């Protein structure tokens, strides 16, 4: 849900034409100036010293892998504790909103972003900036891959390898007492969204010995789950959206009276969403928590 | 001569009966349609059951509030359109078009995102009503004394746009990652996933508002001849204006606070029914209430049947039905008013 | 025996003095013609008497009850008002319009009784619009619509009727018809004020005349007094010829007086 709303927000920002037009003019003018003094010709071989991340997920990988003095700016979502597992650390860094103009002003050596980025990324590439696009992780093995990708881009291969190996071993160490019974778990987030096939969370749920209702119903990443279907498919556990988010209409649905009435006795799994919405090493904590819940359920 | 009157009375009675029947059918259809297939009879018997069977919960907690809100909000919008048109003597006056719904949505949004409605749930319909009151007041100031259609519509566009922009602004300023989804809800309206809580919150205000508006029938007939003549026929024009303002404000404000701004119902319904009641504003009030309920109930059923993936917003459907009407009305009235 | 009277009315609209110190009265059983050139303040005076316009000073009484601004709805059963160029904003049929005349007697909820319907039918018959009963009023000609609107005021069966140019736009036959109906109404005990421009028609059918000029009552009384050469010259700037016949007095304007 957060990923989805982030994407949506990004789309809205990038469709904000007057601002974009202004950014185009401003950056074009700047790039002319910079080309003339030969600044846009970057040396890719040496370690980037000024790194900007414009995506919530690359923000966290960057914080884990890089020396702090090389980080120039993070995306503005990075300060949100319900979205970012490293929001406390991130608060030490300035934020950007992904606008080309902001980023050009920082004059970074490297821009880290993800597949669903801004239109401004295309513009920045055209202007000769070095951009690394890290794909969204849709399964556990993608996470290690992404860690290595970021590590390589910023020249911290050793650190990356260590973190990736430790993550993989933590995931491999997961053991379940009883895998014959697989309880059905339903994710029901703000606005009635759920996650199904090809979502990272689905693999987490399944690795922890649950089945995911969203995946079983054939839904994809961040899709609407009709309330009536949730009521009919009687899950064994419910994972509702974060309770600490600000007042919003969106919170009404996970609190719908029909859920309270039908599912009073069903265990709620209160997992913090910042642990799993991005493919970071924190998913290991999410996995541990799910396994814990799974063991609690079978007792 | 007396025969003529009796004929008119009989026709009106038949029309009321037909519309009531259509409301009943629409209500049953609304109860019967959903992602989970439950037969109409099963839903009806579930409504009166106290078991905790899934069909019972779906019928009582999801389908019933949706059908009740569909009927009440439809009636609210239909009768509000008819009353406002009767008062300003202009067939284009409608809560959606003149910005009352949009300002009601703004009022509701502000109570939600400043956290007021979490503390005191009743501030939600109250916020909607305060917003609606401002919208209605602007309409009355601008168009109360029979100004041109053009003024009315332009003022409506300005109020709607401003209220819509402020709603979007409020949602974007709120620390809320769902702004985009919710802006769509408030601007287009939906009855999906409402609960009985919403029915209790908004229902009483809608009923009082509708009842208040129903009292202005005969005065509106007299207003067909203008305010001066109506006054000399015993109509307290200021009293009528007050009752319409308070009634529409309460009903539309409460309706919008729980379902967002649903457009065009108040335009289409009175327009379709007017010829059937001999253009009499008094007869148009009850028939538009019933007609509005029919239109919204069936639109809400259509929205559920037509949805592929995420549910279509109700306002999308009513706008699809309503905008062609609006254009046609504008073309028809071009020479008369503009 | 009732009387509707206005004493020393002063009315201004957006700072312009329209009516000055005008006193006016009408008794039951009489027709008073309110005459005067365009812009003399006839319509404003009528509206002020009806309580539709706020007066600066002066009082209006229906017998001994004062009619105050915006309180006219309390007198709706007794005093009817026919607006100039009265029209319907909606496509109502003729009988619904005429039935509106019964509204003061019905109140908010009462449905029309057989008695109400009789009044409506009578009024339509009197105004010669019965044959249009189920026609939509906006599809009728201007003259026909004017008769429908008059029928609406007659259906009220008022003690007083204030009519603003009821014969404007009517053909001669219907002009005579309307004046005769008003005469019948007055003979039946109603007091009638009628704004008109046809001086002959006025002098033939009305008991009294009031000449309004630049917001002031310039003359009041019988047609001999009011339609004097002097008054016509001052108020209208015209010269007329007079002729007495078996059918009453004829006043025919023949030319405009220069400067």
The C-alpha angle C155, C160, C161, rounded to 5 degrees, equals 65
Q: How far apart are CA B74 and CA B299, in angstroms?
A: 10
Min Cα separation A207/chain B (Å): 28
Higher pLDDT, B210 or A14: B210
Q: Tens digit of pLDDT for each residue in A218-251?
A: 888 888 888 999 999 989 999 987 665 555 677 7
Domains and CATH numbers, chain B: 2-336 (1.10.3470.10)
- Find residue A110's DSSP bridge partners: A51
State the Rg of chain C over Cα.
Answer: 18
Instruction: Name the residue among B34, B52, B178 with its Cβ closest to that of A262.
Output: B52
Identify the CA nearest to A58 among candidates A6, A14, A106, A105: A6
Q: Tens digits of per-residue pLDDT, A193-204?
A: 899 988 999 999
Q: What residues of C are in contact with residue B5 (Cβ under 8 Å)?
A: 95, 112, 117
User: Could you tell me the end-to-end alpha-carbon distance of chain B, in angstroms, rounded to an integer?
Assistant: 38
Using DSSP, state whether C11 is helix, strand or coil. Answer: strand
Mean pLDDT value across residues A162-180: 86
The answer to whether B225 contacts C121, with C-beta atoms less than 8 Å apart, is no
Interface mutation vs chain B, best among C84, C96, C122, C160, most B CBs within 10 Å? C96
For position B143, what pLDDT does the model report? 63
Beta strands C191-195 and C31-35 are parallel
Chains A and C make contact, 3+ CB pairs within 8 Å:
no
- By the CB < 8 Å criterion, does B312 face chain A? no
Is the CB of residue A96 less than 8 Å from the CB of residue A72?
no
CA distance B70 to B190: 10
Q: pLDDT value at position A129?
A: 92
Domains and CATH numbers, chain A: 2-169 (3.40.50.1980), 184-298 (3.40.50.1980)
What CA–CA distance (Å, rounded) separates B315 from B102?
12
The CA distance from A112 to A120, in Å, is 13
ipTM associated with this complex: 0.91
Within 10 angstroms of residue B137's Cβ, the number of other Cβ atoms is: 15
Q: Which other chains touch chain A, taking contact as 3+ CB pairs less than 8 Å apart?
A: B
pTM: 0.84
**B173 class by beta-carbon count within 10 Å (0-12 exposed, 13-18 middle, 19+ buried):** exposed
Backbone phi and psi for residue B272, each to the nearest 5 degrees, phi listed first: -70, -35
Q: Which of A229, A246, A247, A259 to mutate to test the interface with B (most CBs of B within 10 A)?
A: A247
- Give the burial string for C227-254 (b: 16+ CB within 10 Å, else e): beeebbebbbeeebebeeeeeebebeee
Task: Check: CB of residue B261 under 8 Å from CB of residue B96.
Answer: yes
C/B touch flag: 3 or more CB pairs below 8 Å: yes
Alpha-carbon distance B138 to B157, whole Å? Answer: 12
pLDDT (mean) for C34-39: 94
Torsion of CA B201, B204, B207, B208, to 10 degrees: -120
Q: Classify residue B3 as exposed, middle or buried by CB count within 10 Å of its CB (0-12, 13-18, 19+).
A: exposed
Extract the tokens encoding A186.
């339903």
Which residues from chain C sit within 8 angstroms of residue B274, using beta carbons?
90
pLDDT tens digit sequence for A61-118: 999 999 999 999 999 889 988 889 999 999 999 999 888 888 999 999 999 998 765 6
The DSSP code for B315 is: H
Please report the pLDDT score of residue A17 as a whole number. 37
């Amino acid at each position: 849900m957060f990923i989805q709303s982030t994407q949506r927000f990004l789309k809205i920002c990038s469709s904000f034409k007057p601002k974009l037009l202004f950014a185009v003019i401003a950056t074009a003018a700047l790039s002319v100036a910079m080309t003339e003094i030969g600044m846009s010709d970057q040396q890719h071989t040496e370690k980037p010293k000024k790194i900007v991340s414009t995506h919530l997920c690359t923000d966290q990988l960057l914080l884990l892998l890089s020396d702090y003095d090389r980080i120039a700016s993070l995306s503005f979502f990075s300060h949100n504790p319900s979205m970012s597992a490293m929001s406390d650390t991130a608060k030490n860094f300035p934020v950007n909103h992904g606008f080309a103009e902001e980023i050009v002003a920082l004059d970074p050596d490297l821009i880290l972003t993800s597949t669903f980025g801004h239109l401004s990324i295309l513009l920045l590439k055209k202007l000769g900036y070095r951009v690394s696009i890290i794909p969204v992780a849709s399964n556990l093995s993608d996470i290690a891959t992404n860690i290595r990708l970021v590590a390589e881009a910023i020249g911290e291969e050793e650190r990356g390898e260590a973190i990736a190996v430790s993550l993989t071993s933590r995931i491999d160490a997961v053991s379940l007492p009883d895998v014959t019974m697989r309880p059905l778990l339903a994710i029901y987030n703000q606005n009635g969204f759920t996650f199904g096939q090809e979502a990272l969370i689905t693999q987490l749920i399944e690795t922890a010995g649950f089945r995911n209702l969203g995946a079983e119903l054939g839904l994809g990443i961040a899709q609407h789950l009709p309330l009536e279907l949730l009521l009919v498919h009687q899950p064994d556990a419910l994972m509702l959206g974060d309770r600490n988010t600000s007042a919003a209409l969106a919170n009404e649905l996970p609190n719908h009276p029909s859920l309270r009435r039908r599912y009073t006795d069903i265990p709620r799994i209160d997992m913090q969403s910042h642990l799993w919405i991005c493919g970071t090493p924190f998913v290991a904590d999410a996995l541990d928590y799910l396994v814990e819940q799974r063991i609690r359920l079978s007792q | 001569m007396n025969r003529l009157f009796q004929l008119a009375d009989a026709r009106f009675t038949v029309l009321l009966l037909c519309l009531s029947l259509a409301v009943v059918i629409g209500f049953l259809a609304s109860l019967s349609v959903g992602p989970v297939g439950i037969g109409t009879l099963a839903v009806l018997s579930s409504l009166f059951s106290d078991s905790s069977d899934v069909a019972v919960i779906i019928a009582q907690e999801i389908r019933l509030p949706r059908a009740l809100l569909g009927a009440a909000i439809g009636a609210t919008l239909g009768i509000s359109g008819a009353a406002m048109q009767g008062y300003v003597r202009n067939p284009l006056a409608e809560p959606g078009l003149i910005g009352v719904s949009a300002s009601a949505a703004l009022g509701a949004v502000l109570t939600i995102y400043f956290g007021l409605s979490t503390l005191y749930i009743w501030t939600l319909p109250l916020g909607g009503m305060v917003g609606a009151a401002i919208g209605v007041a602007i309409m009355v100031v601008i168009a109360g004394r029979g100004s041109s259609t053009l003024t009315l519509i332009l003022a409506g566009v300005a109020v709607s746009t401003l209220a819509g922009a402020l709603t979007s602004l409020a949602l974007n300023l709120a620390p809320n990652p769902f702004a985009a989804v919710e802006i769509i809800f408030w601007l287009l309206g939906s009855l999906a996933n409402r609960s009985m809580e919403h029915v209790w919150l908004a229902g009483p205000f809608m009923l009082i508002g509708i009842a208040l508006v129903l009292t202005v029938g005969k005065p509106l007939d007299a207003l067909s001849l203008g305010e001066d003549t109506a006054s000399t026929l015993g109509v307290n024009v200021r009293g009528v204006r007050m009752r319409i303002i308070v009634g529409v404000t309460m009903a539309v404000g409460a309706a919008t606070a729980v379902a967002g701004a649903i457009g065009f119902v108040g335009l289409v319904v009175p327009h379709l029914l007017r010829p059937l009641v001999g253009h009499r504003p008094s007869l148009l009030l009850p028939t538009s209430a019933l007609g509005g309920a029919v239109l919204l109930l069936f639109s809400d059923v259509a929205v559920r049947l037509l949805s592929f993936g995420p549910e279509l917003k109700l306002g999308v459907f009513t706008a699809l039905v309503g905008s062609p009407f609006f254009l046609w009305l504008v073309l028809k009235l071009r020479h008369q008013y503009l | 025996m009732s009387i509707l009277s206005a004493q020393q009315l002063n009315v201004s609209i957006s700072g312009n003095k329209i009516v000055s110190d005008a006193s006016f009265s009408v008794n039951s059983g009489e027709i008073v013609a309110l005459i005067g050139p365009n812009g003399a303040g006839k319509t404003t005076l009528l509206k002020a008497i009806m309580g539709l316009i706020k007066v600066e000073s002066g009082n209006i009484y229906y017998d001994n009850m004062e009619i105050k601004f915006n309180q006219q709805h309390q007198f709706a059963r007794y005093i009817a008002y026919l607006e100039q160029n009265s029209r319907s904003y909606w496509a109502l049929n003729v009988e619904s319009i005429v039935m509106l005349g019964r509204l003061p007697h019905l109140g908010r909820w009462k449905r029309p009784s057989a008695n109400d319907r009789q009044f409506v039918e009578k009024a339509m018959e009197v105004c010669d619009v019965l044959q249009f009963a189920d026609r939509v009023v906006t599809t009728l000609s201007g003259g026909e619509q004017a008769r429908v609107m008059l029928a609406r005021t007659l259906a009220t069966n008022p003690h007083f009727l204030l009519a603003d140019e009821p014969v404007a736009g009517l053909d001669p036959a219907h002009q005579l018809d309307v004046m005769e109906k008003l005469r019948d109404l007055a003979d039946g005990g109603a007091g009638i004020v009628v704004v008109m421009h046809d001086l002959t028609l006025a002098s033939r059918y009305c008991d009294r005349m009031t000449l309004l000029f630049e917001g002031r009552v310039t003359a009041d009384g019988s047609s001999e007094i009011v339609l004097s050469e002097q008054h016509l010259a001052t108020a209208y700037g015209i010269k007329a010829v007079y002729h007495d016949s078996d059918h009453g007095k004829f006043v025919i304007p023949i030319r405009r007086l220069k400067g």
